[in-house]
Amino acid sequence: MISLTTISQTVEMEFRKLLLASGFFLASWVLAVGGQNLPPCSFPAIYNFGDSNSDTGGISAAFEPIKPPNGEAFFNKPAGRAADGRLVIDFIAERLKLPYLSAYLNSLGTNYRHGANFATGGSTVRRPNETIFENGISPFSLDMQTAQFLQFKARTADLYRQAKNPSQRSALPNPQDFAKALYTFDIGQNDLSAGFRKLSFDQLRAQLPDIVSQLAIAVHRIYEEGGRTFWIHNTGPVGCLPIQLFYNLNPPRGFLDDHGCVKAQNDIAVEFNRQLRDRVTKLRAELPQAAITYVDVFAAKYGLIGTAKTEGFAEPMKVCCGYHVKYDHVWCGNKGSASGREVYGASCQNPSAFISWDGIHYTQGANQWVANRILNGSPSSIPAIPITQACHRH
């Protein structure tokens, strides 16, 4: 007769074998999800929605042009970007071997054959209740940007049909490319920044679900128009922007974290990102034909801030462009007065050594550092695949 002990040992051995087999299967699945054994995608175009972190000329075209020394480190002149050179969206275009994106609102010198950029500096996810002349909030919120995209797509189809020869069509987006394009989102930071100005932390936290919901609605609208590949950035560590301490030179004990960032503001950003990540998970179920990547920009930027010195950058709270001495602040490229004299918000001598360009936006060097971390498949992005394989559903 077989003893109960023998049966128990046999069951235990079989269970261990099953665990080993399951572990092997899981490891193989993770490798596949991580981007290995997947063919590269061929994106014919990029359509971007966002704020100044990815604006390549929209707000500059709609209102006053961005002034020098913006753009001078790479473009040798202002190029509609709030930086000394390229933004993360520019490095995305480079990685995909596509031209830099023309702003949708820019009427001259544009090329929309391989995509368009609907982002504008100061944009929010939700519709603003203030004007750009008050606090720099753009009137082109995310729902307006998606409406512009729908109009752009419809107008493209009309013009393509009306084109009389291949030469005319070559200057237009191919209508078939909309289904194959990459749709990128980098927006939400200004919703939080506006909330920090107007609301308590508890009031702002209560509004996060609606902000996330509005972003998801935009993704739904583009999916309904045939979009299938989405690359969605979470928001960065807003508490680490130098502007947060421009008028608070002596913060109280416990106000800052170990990296010198405003802890409570970063806590809000982390909660926003958690809710966005969970909503993206639901989007995958709601949009079964979509490939959606949740991109952890926060981890990349916070990692840079925490290792700034070892990565060859200056102190994260130091600003390259502008005049910022105690409570006197003259913004990058502007003239103003400080201590009874006229001053100019000039650039530092070596922008590539700084993380912060103007107190709000990153330098080209910092943008490139961040891009290298997220475009190769950040471990904390979901799924952790490189952008060149983002068209594959998981």
Helix (H) or strand (E) segment spanning residue 149: helix 142-162
Contact predicate 392/291, CB 8 Å: yes
pTM of the predicted model as reported, rounded to 2 decimal places: 0.90
- Tell me if residue 361 is catalytic: yes
User: What was the pLDDT predicted at 36?
Assistant: 62
CA distance 71 to 83: 6
Residue 52 annotated as catalytic: yes
Catalytic residue among 52, 123, 356, 381: 52
Phi, psi (5° rounding) for residue 364? -60, -40
User: Please, what is the average pLDDT of the chain?
Assistant: 91
Question: Rounded mean pLDDT of 219-247?
Answer: 97
- Structure-token pair, residue 77: 């002149």
- Range name among 48-57, 157-166, 218-227 with the lowest pLDDT average: 157-166
Q: Is the pLDDT of residue 172 over 60?
A: yes
The active-site residue, picked from 51, 356, 358, 381, is 358
In tens, the pLDDT along 63-74 reads: 999 999 999 999
- pLDDT tens figures, 367-378: 999 999 999 999
Angle at 190 between CA 185 and CA 195, to 5 degrees: 135
What pLDDT does residue 171 have?
84
Catalytic member of 257, 347, 361, 378: 361
Domain 42-310+366-389: state its class. alpha beta
Is 80 in contact with 60 (CB distance < 8 Å)? yes
The per-residue pLDDT for 21 is 38
For residues 251-265, average pLDDT = 97
Q: Please determine, for residue 11, whether its predicted confidence score (pLDDT) is greater than 60.
A: no
pLDDT higher than 50, residue 8: no
For tokens 């603003």, the residue is: 128
Residue bearing the bigger pLDDT, 17 or 305: 305
**Residue 111 and residue 313: Cα distance in Å, rounded?**
35
